[in-house]
Amino acid sequence: MTGRDVVATAEAVLALMEADEFGDVVDMVAPSLRELVSAEALRDSWRELSATHGSAVHR
């Protein structure tokens, strides 16, 4: 994966999380790691971070 791929993936994850599409983010996780993360856990963490630090800022 190139640096551009990493940035594109991070931007895609951020967009999905902002759109409350946490299941789609989980689908992007490597199959061997999916059992370690849930859409609900991502949602709860995202909401907590957003409440504490505000909305994400895009460059």
- Among candidates 12, 8, 30, which has minimal Cα distance to 21? 12
Supply the pTM of this predicted model: 0.84
Per-domain boundaries in the chain: 3-53
Percent of residues in the chain assigned helix, strand, coil, to nearest 5: 75, 0, 25
Kindly report, residue by residue over 3-57, the tens digit of the pLDDT: 889 999 999 999 999 999 999 999 999 999 999 999 999 999 999 999 999 988 8
Give residue 45's Cα distance to chain centre: 10
